[in-house]
Amino acid sequence: MGLSIPFNKPYTTGQELQFISSAIASGHLSGNGQYSKFCQEFFENRYSIKKALVTTSCTDALEMCAMLLDIKEGDEVIIPSFTFVSSALAFVRQGANIVFADSRADHPGVNELSIEKLITDRTKAIVVVHYAGVSCDMDHIMTLAKKFSIAVVEDAAQAIDSFYVSKDGSKRPLGSIGHLAAYSFHETKNVQCGEGGLLAINDDTYVKRAEIIWEKGTNRAQFFRGQVNKYGWVDTGSSFLPSEITAAFLYAQLQELNNIQQKRISIWQKYQASLKDWAQPIGINLPVIPSFATNNAHMFYLTCNSLKQRTELIQHLKKNGVMAVFHYQSLHISDFYKDRYTGEPLVNTERYSDNLVRLPFFYNLTDQEQNYIIEALYNF
């Protein structure tokens, strides 16, 4: 019997409505209320983040980063090409020229060895993307950034509860390492609230201004703490705060984080164990976790040996009712950017754009469904 398996089903814990009811009862539904604070403290305490601010999306948190770093017309920002549009868009809006970096050969994350030659005296920031929640080589990148006095922004959209592992074996949470970082709680991420994000500020010098940019360019946050006796327009900014309804929903999810992660990791491991012997003879690669990274089971992807093989694989799965999807179109050859791109061809990036495919992956994927997907792959 055929099943029909979507690519994603947003997970809800069952506690969201209760938390939202309690937010309604509190009489405070706009931003920066108690549930926003609970979510922020959760990140600050659990992941050693100096200051966290919940936002309406990861895209918005990245826009805050671009504003905080004072990115101006003509500044250069180094960003991997194999990423979601938002990683670059936030900086393009401030007038930056994007200098695209290639992926590693063994992983879609940025090739850390390719970065130094892209640095010029106009480089203001390096944006790293922890693809699939798997860390980039942060020691290497932070050392470079320090040497050239460049800020580092972590696009940690997919990277909740994942870590960078130093050579001495110590682990640091992703999102706590760069000067600034952005998480996403979009419905496709491990923890979700429909649309939502969080800005992590790990360098004290940005904290005060971040609160102002977050609150429409006003010093309202300071006013509410009694630090100034009136509030007004003091800087640039926008409305980057989510309502307490969103924050309450998110907080219900964060309560279940350990449970969510445990379940997702078991789904990931089952894919890995079941597909190992199938993939290799037909030239398909399973995900590689570099020695400096941990796996937070954000996604399970396959790298096919050609665009043709990938197209056939997606078709085959679709015929069997299984929705597998590909992404990303390399940003340096996107319609929006290709005419401005002057760098070299990015061979690994383009290979992942052509060959990578993501399998259905969500908390409520049943054993029966996963067995069915694996069986369908065996029949390819």
Q: Which residues bind ligand PLP (CB under 6 A)?
A: 57-59, 83-84, 86-87, 129, 155, 157-158, 184, 186, 197
Q: How many CA atoms lie within 13 A of 270 on its CB side?
A: 20
Q: What does the alpha-carbon distance between residue 280 and residue 51 come to, in Å, rounded to a whole number?
A: 45
Return the number of the residue (87 or 353) whose C-beta is nearest ligand PLP.
87
Q: What does the alpha-carbon distance between residue 159 and residue 164 come to, in Å, rounded to a whole number?
A: 10
Q: What does the alpha-carbon distance between residue 252 and residue 13 come to, in Å, rounded to a whole number?
A: 7
Q: What does the alpha-carbon distance between residue 356 and residue 109 come to, in Å, rounded to a whole number?
A: 13
Return the number of the residue (13 or 184) whose C-beta is nearest ligand PLP.
184
Return the number of the residue (197 or 237) whose C-beta is nearest ligand PLP.
197
Tell the smallest beta-carbon distance from residue 64 to ligand PLP (Å): 12
Return the number of the residue (46 or 327) whose C-beta is nearest ligand PLP.
327
Tell the smallest beta-carbon distance from residue 20 to ligand PLP (Å): 20
Q: For 193-232, give the DSSP string.
A: -SS-EEEEE-SGGGHHHHHHHHBTTB-HHHHHTTSSSS--
Tell the smallest beta-carbon distance from residue 61 to ligand PLP (Å): 8
Return the number of the residue (185 or 372) whose C-beta is nearest ligand PLP.
185
Tell the smallest beta-carbon distance from residue 65 to ligand PLP (Å): 12
Answer whether 81's CB lies under 8 Å from 59's CB.
Answer: no
Q: What does the alpha-carbon distance between residue 198 and residue 240 come to, in Å, rounded to a whole number?
A: 10
Q: How many CA atoms lie within 13 A of 57 on its CB side?
A: 12
Return the number of the residue (246 or 303) whose C-beta is nearest ligand PLP.
246
Return the number of the residue (87 or 176) whose C-beta is nearest ligand PLP.
87
Tell the smallest beta-carbon distance from residue 273 to ligand PLP (Å): 26
Tell the smallest beta-carbon distance from residue 185 to ligand PLP (Å): 7
Return the number of the residue (130 or 179) whose C-beta is nearest ligand PLP.
130
Return the number of the residue (33 or 242) whose C-beta is nearest ligand PLP.
242
7: Cβ contacts below 8 Å, ≥ 6 apart:
323, 324, 325, 358, 360, 361
Tell the smallest beta-carbon distance from residue 165 to ligand PLP (Å): 21
Task: Please state, in angstroms and as integers, the Cα–Cα distance from residue 107 to each residue in 49, 131, 197, 227, 282, following that order.
Answer: 27, 9, 25, 48, 19
Tell the smallest beta-carbon distance from residue 187 to ligand PLP (Å): 9
Tell the smallest beta-carbon distance from residue 315 to ligand PLP (Å): 25
Quick one: tokens of 341?
A: 């791109």
Quick one: tokens of 29?
A: 């539904």
Q: What does the alpha-carbon distance between residue 215 and residue 210 come to, in Å, rounded to a whole number?
A: 9
Q: What does the alpha-carbon distance between residue 68 and residue 217 come to, in Å, rounded to a whole number?
A: 12
Quick one: tokens of 335?
A: 């319609």
Structure-derived torsion over alpha carbons of residues 299, 304, 307, 313, reported in degrees to the nearest 10: -80
